[in-house]
Amino acid sequence: MSGYSAPSREDDPVHTVRTIARLAQMIIELRDEYVRRPRPDTLLQIEQRLDDLLMQREELRHRIENSRHNE
């Protein structure tokens, strides 16, 4: 897989999928940090990223619905 990707429309679900992947990676990194050094502020950051992930889930649902209407 190369670092280059073809340009996409702003309303393309690919943007949401990439954001979901970035958030998932952040959660993994926060997990590693928490395992190394358990701290309450790290748990709060994990909770915030989970909230962000839920928002992206709603965004993805919206984009899926829009793509169905555009077919």
Expressed as residue numbers, the domain containing 59 is: 13-69
pTM: 0.79
- 7 falls within a domain: no
* Mean pLDDT within 62-66: 89
- 19 falls within a domain: yes
The helix (H) or strand (E) run that includes residue 5 is: none
Average pLDDT, the chain: 89
3-class SS of residue 54 = helix
Question: The tokens 């926060």 sit on which residue?
Answer: 30
- 44 falls within a domain: yes
Residue 33 pLDDT greater than 90, yes or no: yes
- 5 falls within a domain: no
How does pLDDT run across 13-32, given as a tens digit for each residue? 999 999 999 999 999 999 99
Give the chain's domain count: 1
CB 17 within 8 A of CB 69: no
* Mean pLDDT within 28-43: 98
Q: How far is CA 49 from CA 39, 46, 62, in A?
A: 16, 5, 20
